[in-house]
Structure 1
Amino acid sequence: MIPTCEHALLRTQAARAGLPPRAGLGLKTGHFNEVLDSRPDLGFFEVHAENHMVAGGPFHHFLGLIREQYPLSLHGVGLSIGAEGALDAQHLQRLTELIERYQPHSFSEHLAWSSHGPVFLNDLLPLAYDTPTLKRVCEHIDQVQNRLQRPMLLENPATYLAFQRSTIDEPEFIREVIQRTGCGLLLDVNNVYVSCINHQRDPLAYMDALPLHAVGEIHLAGFAEDSDSLGDRLLIDDHGAPIDQAVWALYRQVLARVGPVATLIERDNQVPTFDVLLAEAQRAEALLIRAGDRS
């Protein structure tokens, strides 16, 4: 574990220096040719690391061509940072090879777990926030950063339940992880809103309790809405809808606090045409430019 604040500060600064402070899009297979043909004015593209953990094939062919033209962010969904067991050595090795191959400007993962022993669950599951979990998460992040020889960004989760055994508030937990490991923060604004509505918290107060100085990338996405057994609002982080106006409003508050930071538009379900996604990215870009003019 990193013993000094100086090393943590250097890693946080490195995380923020990665992607350009512009809007980017998640790269979808159906948009490969359109991106290469039209060369849209975007700051970067992001891909899920696990989709490219193979030796070759069309995904690598197109990603290599696009990587020549745009900065790249790799976003992991399968490291299981919060799992009780050890990190999967083979998964970490494949991730290392992928990063060496593409030299992305940023790598990020989730504050979540998805494996138990040999069983892998295709979900990002919540953690109990207590001292043993804090120690385990920090050890796993240190292992990843030491192996990759670069800082990673840790994404705040979208959650639907809280554990009674938790003794640490979620923003405090994230703040302590970043202080101990020197990783950066991937601030998912949609996750902030979803979690706070589900747990009846103030999204702005939650956000202000996070270590905003460590934000190296921002995610914006849409959610689905349902109701729980008591009839209260239940928001689901499904990345299957346009960004909600409440999330845009919270994003403007974020930019007022941190200035322009690389911002990704996420859409993983019910993916629309490329021009629809590009319009959302352009809206984020306009807000980033305005934030830069104010700073």
Structure 2
Amino acid sequence: MLHVPPVRPWASRRTGVGLKAEHYLTILEHRPEMGFFEIHAENYMGEGGPPHRFLAAVREIYPLSIHGVGLSIGADRPLDRAHLARLKHLVDRYRPALFSEHLAWSSHDAGFLNDLLPVPYTDAALARIADHIDEVQEVLGRRMLLENPSTYLAFAESTYAETDFIREIARRTGCGLLLDVNNVIVSATNQAFDPDAYVDAFPLDKVEEIHLAGHTPDQDEAGRPLLIDTHDRPVDHRVWDLFARVVSRTGPVATLIEWDADVPDWPTLKAEADRAEAIISRICARASGLPQPVG
């Protein structure tokens, strides 16, 4: 197990957004106030070209966070060594403040599924995932963060609550955690559990990054509410409320707005990050007894 202290570069601003090609020029020309930018690792695993030129320029100005979607940490098979080598090259090249991956799997035999699928919470899965995380941290030479999933079903064979499973992974591996608050709301709605109770049971002392995103409301075949984790619209009011509950417990944590489809113009995206920053500032002011920010 590798123990690497977390890196916290955030200064006065703790919120960031996903770096999108639509906003490259605006960011480089206007240098907006932003705590950090996050990229999906797999979008930058090529050797060169315009994406790397823009990313290198952004990295000169802002801290980066790298978020992986392709390691398949939860798969019942060895990690893809070639993929892990490409990831290490990317991390060494850009030296991000944080690196994170999902508690999910997406590979089976020789195939790769374009989805993040849930894992059963069993002792066997726990041991396998802990081994995979140990391997990732040894190869990268740094701590990784593990993100809680958005789920649409639960496995009958699970013997752990999700929060206990994640807590034990963090204890065994020394990894940090990424708490996706939207995922909590999505899973809580789809599986009819209390999102407040979930975050109260979550190992919040291990959380080093928070994700906020939008979701799409739908219904299942029985007419019950169903939420789809689409990242294609503003953050829902229930996610904002739960975020405030989390921050009141954790204090300021690096917080990302995820908006990956139907990407809006820069002012709209920045306004979401500004709202998250205002919530953090208001809660910090309340905790310190200082006058609270207006707005």
Output the TM-score relative to the length of structure 2: 0.95
What is the aligned partner in structure 1 of residue 37 from structure 2? 45
Encode CA deviations 1:120-178: one digit per residue, 9 max, x unaligned.
Answer: 00100000110000000000000000111100000000000111111111110000000
148, 155, 162: which one aligns with 1:170: 162
Q: Does 2:56 match 1:90?
A: no
- Which residue type is aligned with residue 80 of structure 1? S
- What is the alpha-carbon root mean square deviation over aligned residues? 1.2
Encode CA deviations 1:172-213: one digit per residue, 9 max, x unaligned.
Answer: 000000010010010000001100111100001011111100
**In structure 1, how many angstroms separate the alpha carbons of the residues matched to 2:217 and 2:245?**
23
Q: Does 2:6 match 1:15?
A: yes
Tell me how many residue pairs correspond in the alignment: 286
**In structure 2, how many angstroms separate the alpha carbons of the residues matched to 1:292 and 1:180?**
32
Q: Does 2:289 match 1:274?
A: no
DSSP-derived class of the 1:252 partner:
helix
Assess if the C-alpha contact under 8 Å between 2:179 and 2:211 holds in 1. Answer: yes
**In structure 2, how many angstroms separate the alpha carbons of the residues matched to 1:125 and 1:19?**
32
1:112-191 to 2 correspondence within 5 Å?
Answer: 112-191=104-183
Q: Does 2:215 match 1:223?
A: yes
Assess if the C-alpha contact under 8 Å between 1:15 and 1:183 holds in 2. Answer: no
- Which residue type is aligned with residue 17 of structure 2? L
DSSP-derived class of the 1:217 partner:
strand
What is the aligned partner in structure 1 of residue 292 from structure 2? none
**In structure 1, how many angstroms separate the alpha carbons of the residues matched to 2:77 and 2:32?**
43
DSSP-derived class of the 1:90 partner:
helix
Q: Residues 16 and 158 from structure 1, CA distance in 2 versus in 1: closer, same or farther, beyond 3 angstroms?
A: farther
Encode CA deviations 1:40-85: one digit per residue, 9 max, x unaligned.
Answer: 1000000000000011011100000000000000000000000000
DSSP-derived class of the 2:42 partner:
helix
What is the aligned partner in structure 2 of residue 79 from structure 1? 71
DSSP-derived class of the 1:15 partner:
coil
Query: How many percent of aligned residue pairs carry the same amino acid?
Result: 57
Structure 2 stretches lacking a partner, 5+ long: 289-295
Assess if the C-alpha contact under 8 Å between 1:81 and 1:137 holds in 2. Answer: yes
Structure 1 stretches lacking a partner, 5+ long: none
Q: Residues 247 and 227 from structure 1, CA distance in 2 versus in 1: closer, same or farther, beyond 3 angstroms?
A: same
DSSP-derived class of the 2:142 partner:
coil
What is the aligned partner in structure 2 of residue 62 from structure 1? 54
Could you tell me how far 1:18 is from its partner in structure 2?
A: 5.2
Q: Which has the higher contact order (CA 8 A, sep 6+)?
A: 1
**In structure 2, how many angstroms separate the alpha carbons of the residues matched to 1:68 and 1:291?**
31
Could you tell me how far 1:290 is from its partner in structure 2?
A: 1.9
DSSP-derived class of the 2:264 partner:
coil
